[in-house]
Chains A and B, each alone.
Chain A
Amino acid sequence: MDHARRVNIIPQNFENVLLTINRIKGVKDSLVAGLDGIPIGKIDRESSVLSASTVAALGAVRELTKTVSYGDLEQLIVETDYGKIIIEEFGTEHVIIILTEINANIGMIRVMLKKAVRDFTNNK
């Protein structure tokens, strides 16, 4: 990714998507990162580590689905005893990462997520 392109990504649009998602019940936090593993918008240590590890995990799981020839990876959901981490590709160069409460309504979040991403893509 060259410099010009990185500057051109307007965080404003992303922030609207994140605001919508953060309003969903059960969502603790959400973040958009480039496939380069670097968060969009504010780059603090916590979001940088989350972005870098998430994109790496996505790469590893994509390698898995490729190896076993089981389709294209669409979404990655990681469950922990804290809650869930939902990772979804967003356009061709970004991922959205959502951290949820343990008892969050995942179905609802996924539907809203799909809609938010679709709205974003249409409004570009």
Chain B
Amino acid sequence: MEQISKDSLKIVVFGALNAGKTTFVERLSGQELFLKGEYESITTSFDFVQIKQQDYLIHLFASPGHRRFSFMWETLATGMDGAILLLDSTVGVTPVDHELIDFIEQYGVPYIIAANKDDIFKMDPEFIRKELKLSDNILIGNTSALNDDNLDNLLDKLIDDINKRNNK
């Protein structure tokens, strides 16, 4: 896999511990991750893989869920073109999710929300929009990372948003 930088995008998946971030990037990429975060390791506390989508080489990162590694959010967010916030539908919207939205908002990049674990419990997107005070242009989708349900589609929509932003 060899490609020059101009065709690449950096996308970061954020979310609370256990929301399904690692599963999400694993299923989306359909291959073994290049780097897989281990709980005890600081530098590889994130997941990393590259995938091809819409003619882009996507550098896909998943942030560490554990609060202890939250300083890594900034490092991972540096230079990102877009973000995905994963919610755990079995838990609902939590304070960490509010914190993560505020964090992502600072970067001014397109982002989408994925209400994950849809196979167990379905969260109403409009409820999420209200809870997190999101504007209407932020896409909220229901996903099951476990069943690879709606992942590709959401990523496509995020890439479309990024394209729109960059062509302006």
- A residues lining the B interface (CB < 8 Å): 1-4, 6-7, 9, 11, 34-45, 48-49, 52-53, 55-60, 63
Contact A43 B57 (CB under 8 A): yes
Question: In the complex, A48→B71 CA distance in Å?
Answer: 22
**Residue contact A56 to B72, C-beta cutoff 8 Å:** yes
Given A36-B79, A59-B75, A41–B4 Cβ distance below 8 Å?
yes
Q: Would you call B89 an interface residue if the criterion is a C-beta within 8 Å of the partner chain's C-beta atoms?
A: no
Find chain B residues with CB under 8 A from A41 CB.
4-5
Question: In angstroms, how far is the closest chain A Cβ from the Cβ of B19?
Answer: 20
Question: For residue A35, which residues in chain B have a CB less than 8 angstroms away from its CB?
Answer: 78-79
B143 within 8 A of A: no
Assess the A6–B42 pair: CB atoms within 8 A: no
Contact of B78 among A36, A44, A53, A57 (CB under 8 A): A36
Q: Does B120 contact A (CB under 8 A)?
A: no
Size category of the B interface is 20 to 34
Interface presence of B46 (CB below 8 A): yes
A38 touches B81 (CB 8 A): no
B166 on the interface (CB 8 Å rule)? yes
Residue from the list A3, A48, A59, A63 in contact with B34, Cβ < 8 A: A48
Q: B2, B79, B81: which contacts A43 (Cβ < 8 A)?
A: B2
The complex places the Cα of A34 from the Cα of B76 at a distance, in Å, of: 12
- Does the CB pair B43–A36 fall under 8 Å? no
Asked if A53 and B79 sit within 8 Å, CB to CB, the answer is no
**Hey, which chain A residues are within 8 Å of B45, CB to CB?**
56
| Cβ contacts A to B, 22 pairs, < 8 Å | A1-B10, A3-B6, A4-B166, A6-B5, A37-B10, A38-B8, A38-B10, A38-B59, A43-B4, A44-B2, A45-B1, A45-B34, A48-B48, A49-B34, A49-B35, A49-B48, A56-B44, A56-B45, A56-B75, A57-B43, A59-B75, A60-B42
Tell me whether A48 and B50 are in contact (CB under 8 A).
yes
With contacts A37-B78, A56-B72 known, what are 20 further pairs, Cβ within 8 A? A1-B10, A1-B78, A2-B165, A3-B6, A6-B5, A6-B6, A7-B5, A7-B6, A36-B80, A41-B4, A41-B5, A42-B3, A43-B1, A43-B3, A43-B50, A55-B75, A59-B72, A59-B75, A60-B72, A63-B71
